[in-house]
Structure 1
Amino acid sequence: MTGASSATRRVTHLNANWTPASGGDGSFELLVVTEDERRHSVPTTAAGLTALASVLRDGVVLLWDPDGQVLSIGNLFGEWIPADWSSRSGPASG
């Protein structure tokens, strides 16, 4: 993926934890699990989680770049990244 580092891996699981706070939105944290079974903890806001949830659907490919702390969301429209893309087989071109 353009702009991604060589450490970028496909996301296999994405979970969120919410810690409530009195009088506020509380705090959210994403758990990003990549195809190499590494776990990455990423703090986010309620607004960030809402925006992310709005684009998650069948056909979307998530890629995590731990070097840049970037979650790339591929195939929002069209299929630029093959659904079975894996960093283990080489980077996607484009």
Structure 2
Amino acid sequence: MPKGYIIGHITVKNPEAYKEYVERDTPILLGLGGSFIVRGGQSEVLEGESLERHVVIEFPSYEAALAAFNDPEYQEVAEIRRRNAESTIIVVEGA
């Protein structure tokens, strides 16, 4: 079965407040079967436009990734990200 991924492209607007999101989302997503593959780090846009920060979280399946994103506990914490960052979040099935 193909794995599922949550991919986030994020530009943090309020770094101090965003720290709470990172502290609280990590245990939730790990507990839902996620594994952080990419979390920030150096990047370079070679074509097109993008936000500043990139995150890739691997899940056992596409359905598990969707369920994790839609989890009520995660959605509560996601409001912190929405208030303090610009973001694009994508759920994708792996090859």
Does TM-score exceed 0.5, indicating one fold? Answer: no
Which protein is richer in helix relative to its size? 2
Higher relative contact order (CA 8 A, sep 6+): 2
| TM superposition score normalised by structure 2 | 0.30
In our comparison, the structure showing a higher alpha carbon Rg is: 1
